């Protein structure tokens, strides 16, 4: 519980500045001020809900935090090194090649823990950014990636059975844009990229490898960069100045953008301490020395002071914008025709009707096509049937004719047979007649008769 107490005390100091001008909650008289429908009451004793912020903090500790950083910059500009230095860890990563044909985004998630705060940190790197000869499509994959994370969240939000509190939020909370330390001005690619990202993500531009620029050049460079951003209408992230506790520091930091940073995980002995630094023959550039570079300022602003605001802005501004555009694309609107307010359900209902109508129509169409086909097939079959019938008739006729012919032949043949038999009978009678005198030779007649039959 010691950390609890410590944190409570730390917060109290913040609160002290906040509540200095507020009246004491313990008072004898009741004061009622009408604030619309709600009245302000003063309590007559200690109730105990001042522990509410602590209850909230406890819940957040249990849940853990999620933070997603997108690093945009050319290969070799020092993105991975800076992230390592910011979080004081050696994240595993390999040096990228310079020869990728397209820009790819590579995301890695790590679990960090500091006292009882658990942070799920996702670093998204642009691999191959600015390496191609044709730089036109360099920033589109980045925009697509950011949109994809928004879309995933939106899909989860719109599910019927959803679990948002379980959802691993992958939406990008901040984009660190690495500017080359040329000392001159922004490159066109930088301008175009930042312009296409500024309405989708919080952009914090940083000047990378700042040990390559001298102090005087750096000042001029910063001024030039900021004026170019402003004149091109690029909206970078402004540290919030509405809360008194951090307004002053944030405002002053806003004036020192872009931060000129140096990253290094190598340690060099300076004095009697080992510090993170880059060693040159002519001297040592110390990362955490505010005279040498703005690294400490970046870490302060990014992590210690404004991490929650970055997450908040991402959700309430950038994501809301994406959501609105997307839902309007899908055909939803808050006001229907005649500008009357229309609920989401009404839109669903209208869409459902439309969908059913469409489906009905398609069904009808298909039915028609089907009926048509059936008719055609029927016709074809009928035709075939008719042909067969005709053939059958024809064959039958032919057969009939044949039969008749054969019948005729048979009749003729039979007539011939009868004629022949008659002739034969007649001829036999003629043969027997000359032998009618007495004494005739009956035997010879008989023999003759018989031999006729042999």
Residues of span 166-185 touching other proteins by CB under 8 A: 166-168
C-alpha–C-alpha distance, residues 238 and 232, integer Å: 17
Query: Judged by CB under 8 A, which stretch of 249-257, 302-310, 407-415, 436-444 contacts other proteins?
Result: 302-310
Calculate ∠ Cα 75-80-83, nearest 5°.
Answer: 140
Residues in region 282-301 near other proteins by CB under 8 A: 299-300
Q: CA–CA distance from 14 to each of 7, 90, 296, 354 (Å)? A: 11, 34, 22, 57
Residue from 305, 323, 332, 435 touching other proteins (CB under 8 A): that is: 305
| Minimum CB distance to other proteins smaller for 39 or for 422 | 39
Binder of other proteins out of 75, 193, 306, 314 (CB under 8 A): 306
- Give the nearer residue to other proteins in terms of CB position, either 100 or 110: 110
How many other β-carbons are positioned within 10 Å of the β-carbon of residue 278?
Answer: 19
Calpha distance 296→300 (Å, rounded): 6
The CA distances from residue 399 to 144, 210, 237, 403, in Å, are 83, 111, 103, 6
Kindly state the helix (H) or strand (E) to which residue 66 belongs, with its residue range: strand 65-72
CB of 28 to other proteins, least distance (A): 11
* Residue 88 vs 252, nearer CB to other proteins: 88
Which of 93, 100, 104, 112 contacts other proteins by CB under 8 A?
112
> What is the nearest approach in angstroms of other proteins to the Cβ of residue 207?
22
Residue 94 interacting with other proteins (CB under 8 A): no
Q: Closest CB to other proteins among 37 and 216?
A: 37
Site string for other proteins, 382-401 (x = CB under 8 A): --------------------
Alpha helices in 139-283 (DSSP H): 140-158, 188-197, 215-231, 244-254
Nearer to other proteins by Cβ, of 26 and 369: the residue is 26
**Binder of other proteins out of 113, 134, 216, 450 (CB under 8 A):** 113
Q: Tell the smallest beta-carbon distance from residue 247 to other proteins (Å).
A: 11
Q: Which residue has the tokens 């806003």?
A: 254
Chain-centre distance of CA 338, in angstroms?
A: 34
Phi/psi for 276 (5° steps) reads -75, 125
Q: Which is nearer to other proteins, 9 or 133 (CB)?
A: 9
Residue 53 sits in the site that holds other proteins (CB under 8 A): yes
Q: Please check whether residue 119 is in contact with residue 173, taking contact to mean a CB–CB distance below 8 angstroms.
A: no
| Span of 83-91, 186-194, 402-410, 417-425 interacting with other proteins by CB under 8 A | 83-91
Give strand pairing partners of 126: 105
Cα 82 to Cα 217, 253, 289, distances in angstroms: 22, 19, 15
CB of 350 to other proteins, least distance (A): 9
Site for other proteins (CB under 8 A): which residue of 2, 52, 425, 429? 52
Among 217, 312, 363, 414, binds other proteins (CB under 8 A): 312
Q: How far apart are CA 162 and CA 150, in angstroms?
A: 16
CA separation for the pair 108, 123 (Å, rounded): 5
Cβ nearer to other proteins, comparing 17 with 368: 17
Distance between CA atoms of 401 and 259, rounded to whole angstroms?
114
Which of 87, 178, 237, 259: binder of other proteins (CB under 8 A)?
87
Q: Quick one: angle between helices 2-19 and 244-254, nearest 10? A: 80
187 binds other proteins (CB under 8 A): no
Which of 1, 29, 62, 430 is in the footprint of other proteins by CB under 8 A?
A: 62
Query: What is the closest distance, in whole angstroms, from the C-beta atom of residue 119 to other proteins in the complex?
Result: 5
- 3-class state of residue 223 by DSSP: helix
Q: Which of residues 237-276 bind other proteins (CB under 8 A)?
A: 243, 245-246
From the CB of 145, what's the least distance to other proteins, in Å? 17
Minimum gap (Å) between residue 196 Cβ and other proteins: 28
161 makes contact with other proteins (CB under 8 A): yes
Q: Return the range that interacts with other proteins (CB under 8 A); candidates 16-24, 128-136, 209-217, 408-416.
A: 16-24
* 128 contact partners, CB below 8 Å, separation of at least 6: 75, 96, 98, 100, 101, 102, 103, 104
Residues from 345 through 384 that contact other proteins (CB under 8 A): 345-346, 348-349, 352
Q: Cα-flanking dihedrals φ and ψ of residue 35, to 5°?
A: -115, 80
CB of 24 vs other proteins, minimal distance in Å? 10
Mark out the alpha helices in 286-343 (DSSP H runs).
295-299, 307-313, 320-329
Using the contact rule CB under 8 A, the part of the chain among 158-166, 196-204, 205-213, 415-423 near other proteins is: 158-166
- Those residues with Cβ within 8 angstroms of residue 132's Cβ, 6 or more apart along the chain or in another chain: 101, 102, 103, 138
């Amino acid at each position: 519980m010691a950390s609890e107490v410590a944190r409570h005390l730390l917060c109290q100091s913040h609160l002290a500045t906040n509540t200095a001008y507020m009246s004491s909650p313990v008072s004898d008289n009741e004061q009622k001020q009408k604030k619309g429908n709600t009245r302000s009451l003063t309590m007559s004793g200690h109730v105990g809900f001042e522990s509410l912020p602590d209850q909230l903090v406890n819940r957040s500790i249990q849940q853990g935090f999620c933070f997603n950083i997108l690093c945009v910059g050319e290969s070799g500009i020092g993105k991975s090194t800076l992230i390592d230095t910011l979080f004081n860890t050696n994240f595993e990563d390999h040096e990228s090649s310079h020869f990728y044909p397209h820009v790819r985004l590579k995301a890695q998630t790590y679990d960090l823990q500091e006292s009882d705060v658990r942070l799920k940190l996702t670093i998204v790197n642009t691999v191959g950014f600015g390496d191609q000869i044709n730089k036109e499509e360099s920033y589109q994959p980045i925009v697509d990636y950011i949109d994809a994370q928004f879309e995933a969240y939106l899909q989860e939000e719109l599910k019927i059975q959803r679990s948002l509190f379980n959802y691993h939020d992958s939406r990008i909370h901040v984009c660190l844009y690495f500017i080359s330390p040329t000392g001159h001005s922004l490159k066109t690619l930088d301008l175009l990229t930042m312009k296409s990202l500024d309405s989708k993500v919080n952009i914090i531009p940083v000047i990378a490898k700042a040990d390559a620029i001298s102090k005087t050049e750096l000042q001029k460079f910063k001024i030039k960069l900021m004026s170019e951003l402003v004149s091109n209408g690029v909206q970078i992230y402004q540290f919030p100045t509405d809360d008194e506790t951090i307004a002053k520091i944030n405002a002053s930091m806003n004036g020192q953008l872009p931060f000129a940073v140096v990253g290094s995980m190598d340690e060099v002995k300076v004095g009697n301490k080992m510090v993170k630094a880059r060693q040159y023959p002519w001297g040592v550039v110390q990362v955490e020395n505010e005279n040498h570079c703005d690294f400490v300022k970046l870490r302060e602003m990014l992590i210690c002071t404004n991490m929650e605001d970055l997450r908040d802005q991402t959700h309430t501004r950038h994501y809301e914008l994406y959501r609105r555009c997307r839902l309007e694309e899908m055909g939803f609107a808050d006001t229907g025709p005649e500008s009357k307010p229309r609920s989401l359900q009404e839109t669903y209902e209208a869409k459902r009707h439309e969908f059913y109508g469409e489906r009905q129509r398609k069904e009808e169409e298909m039915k028609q096509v089907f009926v048509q086909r059936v008719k055609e097939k029927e016709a074809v079959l009928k035709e075939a049937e008719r042909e067969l019938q005709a053939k059958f008739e024809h064959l039958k006729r032919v057969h009939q004719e044949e039969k008749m012919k054969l019948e005729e032949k048979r009749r003729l043949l039979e007539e011939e047979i009868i004629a022949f038999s008659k002739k034969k009978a007649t001829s036999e009678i003629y043969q027997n007649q000359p032998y009618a005198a007495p004494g005739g030779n009956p035997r010879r007649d008989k023999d003759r008769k018989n031999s006729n039959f042999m």
